[in-house]
């Protein structure tokens, strides 16, 4: 869970836009589905999470609904990433984007499987770019996977990325000193992007989580004492 000592997640978002509660609810559901609902800290569902969107209606200007949706998405995704960053005992934030899926549901399944995997999370704590564990999680996620066309890259989210698997072929990073050095820098950063291209469709999804550390175990094994 996110903060077992205090409460579960409570988010309050305010806007001065003049929009009806029906429109706000529709926009919020869309934004929540691609932000808060894509956070996995440990896979244990929290008990009373709440996201409230409150509009005062005080803005004099008319609002473009697409602009509003984009702005709301941005706010919700930023808040979601803060939760992942603040995961119990976390030392690293992990962003997993699965693209090239057959459909949106399968992209979500695959992204969440990777970000939930204890083995992937523990490997990232140890700065180990363990492509096998990532591909395994994608494989058991329930998404359709063709190993011959799957690609995988790791990125620092700031422009540097290293391809580990390209259309089913493993790239040996250790033969190139510069690439090995860059990969090591990515793995030792505090935010790491995992980019999986399933190569079998056009759907994509992004999920956020964090590494699994001895800190997580300590917090959750000893918090009552």
For residue 4, the minimal CB distance to a copy of itself (Å) is 8
Q: How many residues does the chain have?
A: 225
**Residue nearer to a copy of itself on the CB measure, 45 or 148:** 45
Instruction: Give the residues lining the site for a copy of itself (CB under 8 A).
Output: 1, 4, 42-45, 47, 116-119, 122-123, 125-126, 128, 130, 133, 136-137, 139-140, 212-214, 216-225
List the catalytic residue out of 8, 26, 91, 136. Answer: 8
For residue 217, the minimal CB distance to a copy of itself (Å) is 5
Q: HSE-up of 19 (CA within 13 Å, CB side)?
A: 22
For residue 213, the minimal CB distance to a copy of itself (Å) is 6
d(CA 133, CA 123): 8
For residue 147, the minimal CB distance to a copy of itself (Å) is 12
**Residue nearer to a copy of itself on the CB measure, 44 or 67:** 44
**Residue nearer to a copy of itself on the CB measure, 43 or 168:** 43
**Residue nearer to a copy of itself on the CB measure, 17 or 93:** 93
Closest CA to 192 of 101, 94, 113: 94
Q: Compute the radius of gyration of the chain from its Cα atoms.
A: 19
**Residue nearer to a copy of itself on the CB measure, 167 or 218:** 218
Distances (CA, A) of 180 to 177, 184, 186: 5, 6, 10
**Residue 8 catalytic?**
yes
Query: What are phi and psi for residue 100, nearest 5 degrees?
Result: 70, 20
d(CA 196, CA 161): 12
Where are the strands (E) in 20-76, listed by range?
50-55
CB proximity list for 181: less than 8 A, separation 6 or greater: none
For residue 32, the minimal CB distance to a copy of itself (Å) is 17
Distances (CA, A) of 178 to 90, 134, 161, 166, 172: 28, 23, 12, 19, 12
Residues classed as catalytic:
8
């Amino acid at each position: 869970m996110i903060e077992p000592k205090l409460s579960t997640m409570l988010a309050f978002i305010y806007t001065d836009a003049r929009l009806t509660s029906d429109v706000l609810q529709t926009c919020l559901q869309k934004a929540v589905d691609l932000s808060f609902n894509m956070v996995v800290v440990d896979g244990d569902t929290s008990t009373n999470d709440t996201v409230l969107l409150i509009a005062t209606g005080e803005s004099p200007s008319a609002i473009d609904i697409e602009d509003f949706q984009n702005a709301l998405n941005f706010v919700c995704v930023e808040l979601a990433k803060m939760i992942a960053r603040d995961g119990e005992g976390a030392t690293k934030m992990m962003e997993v984007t699965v693209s090239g899926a057959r459909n949106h549901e399968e992209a979500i399944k695959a992204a969440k499987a990777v970000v939930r995997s204890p083995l992937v999370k523990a490997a990232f704590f140890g700065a180990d770019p363990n492509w096998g564990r990532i591909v395994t999680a994608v494989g058991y996620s329930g998404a359709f996977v063709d190993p011959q066309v799957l690609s995988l890259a790791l990125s620092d989210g700031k422009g540097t990325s290293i391809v580990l698997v390209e259309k089913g072929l493993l790239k040996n990073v250790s033969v190139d000193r510069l690439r090995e050095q860059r990969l090591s820098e990515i793995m030792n950063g505090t935010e790491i992007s995992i980019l999986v291209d399933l190569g079998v469709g056009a759907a994509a999804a992004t999920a956020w989580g964090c590494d699994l550390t001895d800190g997580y175990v300590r917090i959750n094994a000893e918090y009552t004492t």
